[in-house]
């Protein structure tokens, strides 16, 4: 990051969803150097952050990029629509059931399994506020 002249990311730890997202964004924006992008660990936090940004006159998608994680249906209902990472839980479920059957048969998996997530890019991170 230093080679690009970027500061290390600021991490705000939260304990909840929507209200925690609002509080976390307030903390970030009130810092000496407000962020140009915010990545949250789940969509509830992101939607709360989006509400706080709107309250402060910050245009998500134009003034600040915002992303969530889980890709809940509400992501396409907020304005601007929220960029989010979707975990393919159907695939994870299939893999887990196969691992359980294999374990019951005495076969142990030899290595970790990586399930690739899907990034659904929407207006909250594209520079187009919708």
DSSP-assigned letter for residue 69: E
pLDDT in tens, 43-73: 999 999 999 999 999 999 999 999 999 999 9
Q: Mention the CATH class of domain 2-87+118-125.
A: alpha beta
Spatial contact of 60 and 129, defined as CB atoms under 8 Å apart: yes
Place of tokens 């520079």: 127
Query: What tokens were used for 70?
Result: 């889980």
Give me the residue spans of the domains in the chain: 2-87+118-125
For residues 82 and 46, give the distance between their C-alpha atoms in angstroms, rounded to a whole number: 8
Mean local confidence (pLDDT), 2-21: 86
CB-based burial label for 77 (10 Å; 0-12, 13-18, 19+): exposed
More confident residue, 98 or 129: 98
Query: What tokens were used for 69?
Result: 């994680």
Question: What's the predicted TM-score (pTM) here?
Answer: 0.81
Confidence (pLDDT) at 113: 82
């Amino acid at each position: 990051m230093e080679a690009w002249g970027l500061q290390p990311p600021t991490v705000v730890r939260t304990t909840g969803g929507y209200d925690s997202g609002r509080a976390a964004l307030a903390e970030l924006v009130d810092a000496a150097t407000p962020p140009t992008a915010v990545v949250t660990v789940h969509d509830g936090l992101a939607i709360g952050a989006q509400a706080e940004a709107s309250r402060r006159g910050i245009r998500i998608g134009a003034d600040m990029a915002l992303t969530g994680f889980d890709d809940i249906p509400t992501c396409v209902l907020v304005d601007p629509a929220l960029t989010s990472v979707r975990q393919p839980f159907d695939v994870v479920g299939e893999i887990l059931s196969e691992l359980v059957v294999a374990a019951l048969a005495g076969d142990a998996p030899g290595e970790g399994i990586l399930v690739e997530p899907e990034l659904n890019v929407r207006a909250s991170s594209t520079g187009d506020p919708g």
